[in-house]
Amino acid sequence: MSQTTTAFSESEERRELRKAVADLGRKYGRDYFLEAHREGRKTTELWAEAGKLGYLGVAIPEEYGGGGGEIGDLAAVCEELAAAGCPLLLMVVSPAIVGTIIAQYGTDEQKQRWLPGLADGSSTFAFSITEPDAGSNSHKIVTTAYRTESGDWRLSGQKTYISGVDEASHVLVVARTEDHRTGSLKPALFLVPTDTEGFTYREIPMGIVSPEKQFTLFFDDVTLPSDALVGSEDAGIEQLFAGLNPERIMAASFATGTARLALETAVEYAKTRQVWKAPIGAHQAIAHPLAQTHIEIEMARLMTQKAAALYAAGDHMAAGEAANMAKYAAGEVACDAVDRAIQTHGGNGLAEEYGLVQMLAGSRLSRIAPVSREMVLNFIAQFSLGLPKSY
């Protein structure tokens, strides 16, 4: 019995981490987050305090100022802040994707230069892979980098729906370089300072309630030094997926935290709202959808924890499968939880004071990014079930 319980319980250290982060989240709360969005401000104070307390760098190696933990620890931080009404989208990007890739594949100089700032939150990095004409087909990426005779790089291309570029000092760009043996193009990763000549960006107007913005990026023959290349020029795919699996784990935690917040809001309302003889939560038409949401949240959390454990164990193929499943499950429950919470509130669900209508667009995004549920299903059909590829 004790072994079974242990297998499905988080460590005491992670549970304490969750509690501490939840306290920080409640200190700021949903009102702080919404006010920052309305006033066009960033959540700078929360980000800085989370960094100072070590929460942003919990998964970065200790020798570079981090906590030396696992991606599951960082995912727990992300989930608890989202559950408190303060979802930090850049957590998915800066310490998770970029921090993981640099920690695993960066040179010693790159690690020493960039990881301490990522760990304490004083540096924020963006990540760019999506292109206007490529969509989910990363093989169609046309942003290219060519090495010059002097050993530098020249980067040209365009990216879209890239988060937080206006807050970032650098963008980790997925580009393609020429394989001199075959002449074909292969992926490679480059760190581009946001103040580099030839790099510009334009905000994309979005209906999502978030202080963090989305942008289209333009690289017009950008010159980069030789050490802008992160990792090996010949191992782009491996290095890329070293960041994408944590991205899916973090996105799942982001969505699960959103679902938890929606459910908590609905349950409190259902306990106190009385129209007939008993509070509306006594009616199965209200109670059953909320109970179903609770079950689905727990299933999504369990799959996310499995994905994080597999990733930490170095089983990247199994971690990729589990991370995709976790992202799918969490995206579904985030959408359903917000919808059911609004329905529980009736007309009040569309009133701004209850904070649910503001969550609609963001919860819907969880089915689309960072990978759509359709592409997840394609992946599972092909790799888990062995069905023929349709695309």
Domain range holding 175? 127-233
93 alpha carbon, distance to own chain's centre = 6
Q: What is the DSSP string of 129-165?
A: ---TTTTT-GGG---EEEE-TTS-EEEEEEEEEEETG
Residues 219 and 295 in one domain: no
The answer to the question of residue 389 being in a domain is: no
- Where is the domain boundary, 183, 202, 233? 233
**Mean pLDDT, rounded, of the chain:** 94
> What ranges make up the beta strands (E) of the chain?
125-128, 144-147, 153-163, 170-178, 185-193, 199-204, 214-224, 229-230
Q: What is the CATH number of the domain that holds 176?
A: 2.40.110.10
Percent of the chain that is helix, strand, coil (3-state, to 5): 60, 15, 25
Amino acid sitting at position 175: A
Same domain assignment for residues 200 and 268? no
- Going by C-alpha positions, the residue among 152, 219, 230 that lies closest to residue 191 is 230
Q: What is the pLDDT of residues 126-160, one digit of tens each?
A: 999 999 998 777 778 999 999 999 989 999 999 99
pLDDT digits (tens, 9 = 90+) for 55-104: 999 999 999 999 999 999 999 999 999 999 999 999 999 999 999 999 99
CATH code of residue 65: 1.10.540.10
Number of structural domains in the chain: 3
Query: Same structural domain for residues 322 and 184?
Result: no
Choose one of 123, 141, 159: the last residue of a domain.
Answer: 123
Cα end-to-end span (Å), the chain? 46
Examine the fold and report which residue of 89, 123, 157 is the final residue of a domain before the chain moves on: 123
142 and 72, same domain (yes or no) = no
pLDDT tens digits for range 35-55: 999 999 999 999 999 999 999
